[in-house]
Amino acid sequence: MAESERLAGMVALVTGGGRGADGGMGAAICRVFGQAGARVAVNDVTAEATEATVRQLEAMGAEAIGLVGDVSNRQSAESLVARTVERFGRIDILVNNAGIGGRRAPVVELRDEDWEAVLAVNLHGPFFLARAAIPHMRQQRFGRIINIASLAALRVSLLGGAQYTASKEALWGFTRHLAVEVTQHGITVNAIMPGYTLTPLVMAHTSPEARDRIAQGIPSLRGATPEEIAYVALFLASREAGQVSGVAIPVDGAVSVLPGDITKRRQILGG
């Protein structure tokens, strides 16, 4: 099968997929899905962000719409699914990619709103969206739900706070439980656990020296590119991956199998 037909006939909703060339993993997932023949609903919080990715997809000949909305708001999240189905007649793939790191502070200094903001986007959003998408997927007897968690779900985030680690571990628990519930209906539910990934945001906020230091703590000696995350999402979204459900795939250059020498890792990361 040609790579451009891998997702032919499928409709994907990708949250946090905006900002086009300046976007992160979500924008890369939109591009890779568009190249594979999917019609793509691109969500983000501003029209400027969604349109940047829609323009990129259209330039490569893919069909796309922009959907402005906040995944942490129940009504807004539900309307993303409704508008996708209204426009394209179905929803085959839901990628819960939108996520925030939140305020980085020790637990004793975290305010209630710091905790709640991260849980709202990283955990409640995927719940609202999956709950809204599953009835459509059940009717089709086909669905792919892909949750972008984090390596922090398996270990501990060294760059974010406890609320980030907690939200991503909970997203992984939600993934496992939902997989057991819905796989009988032809719907797979999986998580991707990116390690350090060189998204434009990460590039903008770290110096080349800091990036070098972090890379030394990774067996592959580098961070992942957004496309390397996107191609794992493409595999999970494909028809051929129908028996893969309830798994978490680390994309981390082997960090997750490092021996747990936290002192050495902290020295390397300068923490």
What are 18's two structure tokens?
């905006």
Please confirm, yes or no, whether 196 is among the known catalytic residues: no
- Closest-CA residue to 43 (of 9, 5, 72): 72
Residues 55-80 as b or e (16 or more Cβ within 10 Å = b):
ebbeeeebebbbbbbbbbebebbbbb
Q: Please identify, using beta-carbon distances, which residue of 72 and 190 lies nearer to ligand NAD.
A: 72
Cβ 112 to ligand NAD shortest distance, Å: 18
Least Å distance, CB 77 to ligand NAD, is 8
Q: Torsion angle of alpha carbons 198, 123, 113, 156, nearest 10°?
A: -50
Task: Give the nearer residue to ligand NAD in terms of CB position, either 180 or 266.
Answer: 266
Contacts of 33 (CB under 8 A, 6+ apart): 7, 12, 14, 40, 93, 230, 233, 234, 237
Helical (H) or strand (E) element with 163: helix 162-182
Q: How far is the CB of 35 from ligand NAD (least distance, A)?
A: 18
Candidates 62, 73, 52, 66; CA nearest to 13 is 66
Minimum separation from the CB atom of position 47 to ligand NAD (A): 12
Q: Residue 37 or residue 223: which is nearer to ligand NAD going by CB?
A: 223
Residues that bind ligand NAD (CB under 6 A): 15-16, 18-19, 23-26, 43-45, 49, 70-72, 97-100, 121, 148, 150, 194, 196-197, 199, 201-202
Cβ nearer to ligand NAD, comparing 51 with 70? 70
Q: Please, what is the minimum distance in Å from the beta carbon of residue 216 to ligand NAD?
A: 16
Provide the strand spans (E) within the chain. Answer: 11-14, 39-44, 64-68, 93-96, 143-148, 187-194, 248-251
Measured in whole angstroms, how far is the alpha carbon of residue 152 from the centre of its chain? 14
Q: What angle do CA 15, 16, 18 make, to 5 degrees?
A: 115
| Residue 30 vs 179, nearer CB to ligand NAD | 30
d(CA 12, CA 213): 37
Q: Closest separation between CB of residue 199 and ligand NAD, Å?
A: 4
Rounded to the nearest 10 degrees, the angle between the axes of helix 125-140 and helix 74-88 is: 30
Catalytic residue among 88, 142, 164, 174: 164
Given the complex with ligand NAD, which of 19 and 142 has the nearer CB atom?
19
Is residue 256 within 8 Å of 151, Cβ to Cβ? yes
Residues with active-site annotation = 164
